[in-house]
Amino acid sequence: MSSIASIYPVLMTDDVPRLHAFYARLLGLTETFVSDWYVSLAADGDADSAAQLAIVYRDHESVPAAYRVPGGGMLVTVEVADVDAIHARAADDGLAFHVPLRDEAWGQRHFVTNDPDGVLVDVVTVIAPSADFAAQYAG
């Protein structure tokens, strides 16, 4: 069995600069690689970070033609240290909130918005779960 070096989403779009600006602004991600068709972003611009996201033009040759469709049915969850600060930035930017900022019994304080292409973005800070949910966590 091989070990996994990293897993990160690559979002397809018709406007790489627009999506790049959205994630850089909302989450403070910075570039680790930039080309005219692809951008890789990471926390603190660290290519070795566990927090990475990439963006590619959906019509790029690396994307199989049958899958060059707008994103749907996708939820990107981003765990942050201070969800309230990110929520305030999102509110200042006039983003829609599909789930308002709230605490969940399963151990998250979060809100859900969407990126300019309609992909849902769930911004989360881990909090203590209720006793019922705490028993369900492994380890």
Indicate the pairing of strand 52-57 with strand 10-13.
parallel
In a shared domain, residues 136 and 74: yes
Chain centroid, CA 40 distance in Å: 13
* d(C-alpha 90, C-alpha 108), whole Å: 18
Residue-range definition of the domain harbouring residue 1 = 1-60
The domain total for the chain is 2
The answer to whether the predicted template modeling score (pTM) of the entire model surpasses 0.85 is yes
Spatial neighbors of 23 by CB under 8 A, at least 6 apart, are: 29, 41, 53, 55, 115
The enclosing domain of 106 has a CATH number of 3.30.720.110
Instruction: Please check whether residues 50 and 109 belong to one and the same domain.
Output: no
Q: For residue 27, which of 108, 95, 85, 111 has the smallest C-alpha distance? A: 85
Per-residue pLDDT of the chain (139 residues; tens, 9 = 90+): 668 777 889 999 999 999 999 999 999 999 999 999 999 999 987 777 788 999 999 999 999 999 898 877 889 999 999 999 999 999 999 999 999 999 999 999 999 999 999 999 999 999 999 998 988 887 6
